[in-house]
Amino acid sequence: MSEAKTAKSRSKSVDVEAAGQAISSPPVERPRLRDAERTSKAILAAATKEFAERGYGGARVDAIAERAKINKRMLYHYFGGKDALYVAVLEGSYVAIRSAEARLDLSHRSPTEGMRELVVFTWKYFLDHPEFLGILSTENMQKARFLKRSARIFELHSPLVAEISGLLGRGVATGDFRSDCDPVKIYMSIAALGSFFLTNRWTLSTIFQRNLSEKSEIDAWGEHIIEVIFAYLRP
């Protein structure tokens, strides 16, 4: 592991847009050559896909370079190596979802509305960003080996917990929600139902002979998550 050499990339701030959005942005025709930012983002986007699809061990540096249409050497120039690039992808992925989440502004809605919005957002985000779930899968297969080293990860998540706590508190006050709910458990339940379906639909489709990638099945499961969560929250 060449992590000692990541110094250079450490100073690179992980760009919120990079992992999540560069992927879908239209192929802007800029000068092409000597565009450091563009190159760096392209690498990050390509790496995100590759790591998500093949896992850390299965991901190939050459494949990332090819996907990003850059010279493999640049990957080392900008990120230092496979490890450091993976860490950048990992942090970038979390930053991206938490940033989008933060834009929800749940506190100005009724508890029921807010909770529904959170559930729907989460489900949609998972649906639209399959790489995020892939990265999580990979990282967990390694027991969060890399994430544990990331200092700022915790801070990134306290606002989320606070937000859910607020919703729950207000919901209890209005009589919409049962009391004694753990915000972390609520979030985990939402994530569990959403993530499991999308992540595992491939084997599930096979064993149950039912194409879970069809729109109707996906939509139905989205409804199902809401039903389950609200059934549980019901006082």
Partner DNA sequence: CATGAATGAGTATTCATTCAT
Partner DNA sequence: GATGAATGAATACTCATTCAT
Question: What are the residues binding DNA (CB under 7 A)?
Answer: 1-2, 5, 31, 33-36, 38-39, 59-62, 70-74, 76-77, 81-83
1 binds, among its own copies, DNA, none (CB under 5 to 8 A by kind): DNA
Count of CB atoms within 10 A of residue 70's CB? Answer: 19
Binding-residue total with its own copies (CB under 8 A) = 55
Position 189 contacts its own copies (CB under 8 A): yes
* CA 152 to the chain's CA centroid: 16
Closer CB to its own copies, 10 or 145, in the complex: 145
Name the DSSP letter for residue 177. S
Position 33 contacts its own copies (CB under 8 A): no
Q: How far apart are CA 9 and CA 183, in angstroms?
A: 35
Residues 13, 71, 200, 211: which binds its own copies (CB under 8 A)?
A: 200
Closer CB to DNA, 54 or 157, in the complex: 54
Count of CB atoms within 10 A of residue 172's CB? Answer: 17
Q: How far apart are CA 163 and CA 152, in angstroms?
A: 19
Closest distance of CB 33 from DNA, Å: 5
Position 156 contacts its own copies (CB under 8 A): yes
Position 65 contacts its own copies (CB under 8 A): no
Position 100 contacts its own copies (CB under 8 A): no
Closest distance of CB 224 from DNA, Å: 39
Each residue 158-177 as x (binds its own copies by CB under 8 A) or -, in order, gives ---x----------------
Closest distance of CB 83 from DNA, Å: 6
Residues 71, 99, 107, 140: which binds its own copies (CB under 8 A)?
A: 140
User: Hey, is 11 helix, strand or coil?
Assistant: coil
Closest distance of CB 191 from its own copies, Å: 7
**Pick from 64, 195, 74: nearest CA to 140:** 195
Residue 99 contacts residue 21 (beta carbons within 8 Å): no
Whole-number CA gyration radius for the chain = 20
Helices (H), the chain: 7-10, 16-21, 36-58, 61-68, 72-79, 82-102, 111-128, 130-141, 153-174, 183-207, 215-233
Q: How far apart are CA 32 and CA 94, in angstroms?
A: 29
Give the footprint of its own copies on this chain (CB under 8 A).
53-59, 94, 134, 136-144, 147-148, 150, 153-154, 156-157, 161, 184-185, 188-189, 191-193, 195-197, 199-210, 221, 224, 227-228, 231-232, 234
